[in-house]
Structure 1
Amino acid sequence: MVELLGTHCEYPECNTLDFLPIYCFHCEKTFCKRHGSAPDHSCISLQQTNLENSTSNSPFLPCAYSNGCKSQKSPISFTCSLCLKNFCVEHRHVDDHECPNRAQQQPMTHYASQTNKSEPKATSNYPTEKFVGTKNEALANKVAIMKLKQRAKGPVGVPMENRLHVFVEIDEGDGNNKRYPFYLSKLWPLGKGLDYLTKELKLLSANRIIILEREQIQLDLSSTISDLKQLHDADVIILRKT
């Protein structure tokens, strides 16, 4: 069960299990903290592009690690939610930059025990990670999707290329809607996805429809998810009683 909490690094010579993996939006693979930056995993994008979208419009901030940091500058800097200082990928975790406020963070054993109960957490309960250097809209969208992919819960065994990552909102008619990060298999009929979400979110048995929030349209439950061209990664879908 513990392995389900993290993701194995896709760097060929590593395969380390990381509880906070890093998704590279250039090569679309997931890596541990040691191989998170493009140079560290020899990203193919370094040979194909000069990364204009991620460098020309964004300021670079130095890593605030007090003992010194030898990492190359990155167009994305992580702000620690505890000490509010900026760090590179290598030192983004509270233990890695020896955060003076890390005593405020719950231990991993508590996190694991809560997650093993298979109860999805609403997005409002997640610690906030602020991303610096995302003035470029396309880069900002990629970062948002990257964060969603790191946190989404979904069926085991679905390859990354077959996953659709969405925020799921439950509309019970009381105005107290919460959103949960999930991924579904693009090869499923949407109706199967609804059955899966109903079970995982422990919803009472009821007839429900799925609404695409962005366009306020009802989605066809008989359609295969990959055929729903109006549905994209990071969209919000609403589960609503009929």
Structure 2
Amino acid sequence: MAGGGTEAFPDLGEHCQDPDCKLLDFLPFTCDGCKLVFCLEHRSYKSHNCPKSDHGSRTVSICETCSIAIETTGFDEKGIKSLLEKHERSGDCDPNKKKKPTCPVKRCKEILTFANNLTCKYCGVKFCLKHRFPTDHVCNKKIINTAGTSSRWNERFMEALSLRNQKGCGRGSSVSSKSSPSVRSF
């Protein structure tokens, strides 16, 4: 048998190329670094000591001031340090980007994310789910502009409805049909 498999199925599976393993694996993994075949246990770069483990990899450093990730692939420690200093000198490094929005209610430290915040329909301020109701936060109950547009829509709707009723359209029509029902019930 050349590549692997069993006597009945000689082309099925391959042996792990780790020198200590040689397991016949029916779903082998090919390392994208060294191009050798390995079993599930030895498929990672670290487990088979791949000489090309950094092949295609990227390294990133995080700015401590603004929490932005900066790619540092191919730089040594001195180069990374100078890259971070260059970033801090540029106008891109803003410490305000690091601060996350929190609930504006006193003593509430809940960080607002896309899933746990709600905008109050009266004051238009974003709150955490615990303080979403006007009674739970100090709401000044100003009606925001969206409510004004809906009231205008309601006025136009009611006007159109009254015009429709005046013209005799719809159910309230003055013309009544005297025809007998088409279906009789017994």
TM-score (normalizing by structure 1)? 0.20
Look at both structures and tell me which one has the larger radius of gyration over its CA atoms.
2
TM-score (normalizing by structure 2)? 0.26
Higher strand share: 1
